[in-house]
Homo-oligomer: A and B are copies of this chain.
Amino acid sequence: MTGTHSLSALLAPRNVVIVGASERSAWSAGSFSNFARLGFEGQVYLVNRKGGTVHGQPAHRSCAEIGEQVDLALLLVAAEAVPNALRDIAAAGIRFAVVLAAGFDEIGANGRAMQQQITELALELGVTCVGPNCLGFINLVDKVPAWSGRMAELTTGAMAVVSQSGATAHTIAAFAAQQNIGVSHVVSTGNESMVDTTTMATILIEDERVRSVAMFIESIRDARTFRSLARRAAELGKPIVALKIGSSELAAEIAQSHTGALVGDDRLVDAALRQFGVIRVRSLEQLVMTAGLLSRTGPLATGDLGVVSMSGGACDLVADRADASGVRLPILADATRARLAELLPEFCTLRNPLDSTGAASAKPELFRDSIFAIADDPSVAIVAAIHVHPTEERGEAIKARLRIDAPALAGSATPVILLDQTIATIDPGTVRNLEELGIPLAMTGLDHVVEAAGHAIWWSRWLRKDHLPTASAPDLSYLAGAGGVWSEAESLALLVEHGVPVVPYAHVRDEEAAVEAAGRLGSPLVVKLVSPDIVHKSDVGGVLLGVDSPEAVRRAYRQVQAAVLAVPGAQSEGALISSMRSGGVEMIVGVVRDQQWGLTLAVGLGGVLVHVIDDSVLRTLPVSETDVRQMLSELRGKALLDGVRGSKPVDLDALVAAILNVASLAERLGDSLESIEINPFRVEGSTVEALDASIVWAPRGSDEAHP
């Protein structure tokens, strides 16, 4: 694949050729008309193998015939004609092509073979293709519509749209236009034979005219490049907003069938996106509202959402929606309340959301000054001012009101959204009125905007925080065997060596050593068989509990050694003797390798709760201390850690430190590691102890396969 540097030229060709231009094709007519509609400043050449006049302009018989340097070819030919077209454009020195034709990967084995063939050919010819089976891209900021078929009326702005599906990319951009949200680029990648959505977003994020990226994602093909994209976006202070489908099993199945890519465990996708500072949304509307808002505000300052309305009902709705979406409506500062008290009638309640009541309806100045007061509150980062929009239908009366309110709606350090309560198309007449009134930020739909503001606040906070994981420690991958499973004794030894607290134990090879160790450990004790060949030791009588005298230790040692005989060919490596524990909170801490995301930390509550509620939280490695604290706070049964029924609360610092040590060990083991599982990881007050552990090594040669 070509580097992103040279790819950036792909999206800004100075001239274009439409290959397969034809009077009879609606695709061709639509594509051609887009150039004039968008005001493309370069030359648009047409190629039709019969020549003649097409769309009122002479057509060339081949690209080679043009005789000028052309930057991009829009290939509208059918699948079977693609190879020849590629040869033709390569001969003409054209380096980039957008391939519309369907009939490849998406139709099964035959199509897959054909796609493989054209991809190899393109590589050989030095042509980079977008697609096949894609609609291409529209670069609105440079006025280049390399788009197959007629595009809708779009609005130019700072939000880039990237989607595998061209139809969906177009739907997103068209909806943005209906909401008066400007778009910089609309990019579809289709079957992604050479260029995928992550690559496209990586190009776009570097363009200074792009202030946010809205991605519709069916599958993340390469977690490593996606993570790089997210890291770069964070450096640039630009948000990536992702509608990643596949939260349901059915959607995952559908996506797999039409993209051929693995969708992965959605809980992990969720955790990973959050870790990387990618805003995940659940609908096309949310995608546009959130990326659109941030494309206009940029990162928000410290604080949360302030709301001003003239309707009690709207305030009720805001409060419910904010609560449901986890958006904070901060309590107003005393100074703000004092300022509002001077403005508003005595019967108004001075809270956020602020109901400035019918008083402000009668006197627009009150509404304006209420907005100013809320916007100046130190804990408010963004304001929603609920008021109908100045549509043509609503007439001059509304415009006259808004003319008075406009100075407050123009925003200052704190952005102010003029929010019409229900979602509706913002029509051209309204846009004109808003411009005339000098109101920069007008949105519709209370629910949608509260959620979008919540996303913007979350992301801005994430951006301010130190969210980078701690630096990696030295590589320990030399420890790895050639695959295989380590015994509990080996696993615990490795944990101890790397600072993970483990219950006092001894690995002994004979009765005498067992008695000696027991003397050191005190009683009661647990005696377990050590054998690399037996996984479920308790099933064969290999585990004995409550052993509490030297004689009992000898008996137990002999008994677990006898257990090895139950499994033909199994070898004993002695026994593990450890202090027996009861009480406290049983947790599970593990690191497993995910096919898509690599090493992943899981922290959960163990014991009976595992059976009642699946209570575990995931993060991809590396993790920071903040991440681990956040994980613990997300456990549904976290009350157990605070102490219930008179038990003392868990020492969270000790627990976090222990989990971080597990994570750090796993990270240093790197590609050699398949999984570490510590279960139970017992916590009582400030005692944190691994009671049992197992380590599984990755099979050799898997390093390449995993991201």
A358 contacts across to B, CB distance below 8 A: 102
Tell me whether A108 is interfacial, beta carbon within 8 Å.
yes
Tell me whether A609 is interfacial, beta carbon within 8 Å.
yes
**Closest B residue by C-beta to A445:** B285
A254 touches B107 (CB 8 A): no
Tell me whether A311 is interfacial, beta carbon within 8 Å.
yes
Tell me whether A250 is interfacial, beta carbon within 8 Å.
yes
Tell me whether A549 is interfacial, beta carbon within 8 Å.
no
Instruction: Choose among B246, B250, B324, B346 the residue that contacts A282 (Cβ–Cβ < 8 A).
Output: B324
Stretch from A204-212, A227-235, A593-601, A637-645 forming part of the interface with B: A637-645
A313 touches B152 (CB 8 A): no
Tell me whether A347 is interfacial, beta carbon within 8 Å.
yes
A341 to chain B, nearest CB (A): 15
B284 touches A316 (CB 8 A): no
Tell me whether A178 is interfacial, beta carbon within 8 Å.
yes
Stretch from A78-86, A160-168, A692-700 forming part of the interface with B: A160-168
Of A178, A250, A317, A320, which is in contact with the most chain B CB atoms at under 10 Å from its CB? A320
B312 touches A258 (CB 8 A): yes
A678→B375 CA distance, assembly (Å): 52
A189 contacts across to B, CB distance below 8 A: none
List residues 158-185 of chain A with CB under 8 A from any CB of chain B.
163-165, 167-168, 171-172, 174-175, 178
A427→B429 CA distance, assembly (Å): 14
A249 contacts across to B, CB distance below 8 A: 323
A311 contacts across to B, CB distance below 8 A: 165, 167-168
* Known A254-B315, A313-B165, A319-B251: A424·B216 in contact at CB below 8 Å: no
Tell me whether A611 is interfacial, beta carbon within 8 Å.
yes
List residues 639-681 of chain A with CB under 8 A from any CB of chain B.
639-640, 644-645
Stretch from A38-46, A53-61, A64-72, A349-357 forming part of the interface with B: A349-357
Tell me whether A446 is interfacial, beta carbon within 8 Å.
yes
Contact with B along A288-328 (1 / 0, CB 8 A): 10000000000000000000001111111101111110000
Tell me whether A473 is interfacial, beta carbon within 8 Å.
no
Tell me whether A608 is interfacial, beta carbon within 8 Å.
yes
A282→B108 CA distance, assembly (Å): 43
A237 to chain B, nearest CB (A): 28
A89→B310 CA distance, assembly (Å): 32
A284→B386 CA distance, assembly (Å): 14
* Known A421-B171, A422-B284: A218·B445 in contact at CB below 8 Å: no
A347 contacts across to B, CB distance below 8 A: 106-108, 111
A316 touches B613 (CB 8 A): no
Of A172, A316, A637, which is in contact with the most chain B CB atoms at under 10 Å from its CB? A316
A108→B348 CA distance, assembly (Å): 10
Q: Can you list 28 A-B pairs, Cβ within 8 angstroms, ordered by A?
A: A106-B357, A107-B345, A108-B346, A108-B347, A153-B393, A165-B311, A167-B310, A168-B314, A171-B421, A171-B422, A175-B424, A216-B313, A218-B316, A245-B316, A245-B319, A247-B323, A247-B324, A248-B320, A248-B324, A250-B323, A251-B315, A251-B316, A254-B353, A258-B355, A282-B321, A608-B644, A612-B644, A613-B637
A324 contacts across to B, CB distance below 8 A: 247-248, 282
Tell me whether A397 is interfacial, beta carbon within 8 Å.
yes
Instruction: Choose among B102, B168, B310, B316 the residue that contacts A255 (Cβ–Cβ < 8 A).
Output: B316
A153→B346 CA distance, assembly (Å): 36
B613 touches A636 (CB 8 A): yes
A443 to chain B, nearest CB (A): 13
A357→B315 CA distance, assembly (Å): 44
Instruction: Choose among B246, B393, B422, B423 the residue that contacts A320 (Cβ–Cβ < 8 A).
Output: B246
A312 touches B254 (CB 8 A): yes
A424→B176 CA distance, assembly (Å): 11
Tell me whether A283 is interfacial, beta carbon within 8 Å.
yes
B26 touches A313 (CB 8 A): no
A254 contacts across to B, CB distance below 8 A: 312, 315-316, 319, 349, 351, 353, 355
A108→B106 CA distance, assembly (Å): 68
A178 contacts across to B, CB distance below 8 A: 422, 424-425
A227→B4 CA distance, assembly (Å): 64
Tell me whether A625 is interfacial, beta carbon within 8 Å.
no
A544→B626 CA distance, assembly (Å): 48
Of A258, A259, A349, which is in contact with the most chain B CB atoms at under 10 Å from its CB? A258
Tell me whether A257 is interfacial, beta carbon within 8 Å.
yes
Tell me whether A457 is interfacial, beta carbon within 8 Å.
no
A107 contacts across to B, CB distance below 8 A: 345, 347
Tell me whether A329 is interfacial, beta carbon within 8 Å.
yes
B323 touches A251 (CB 8 A): yes
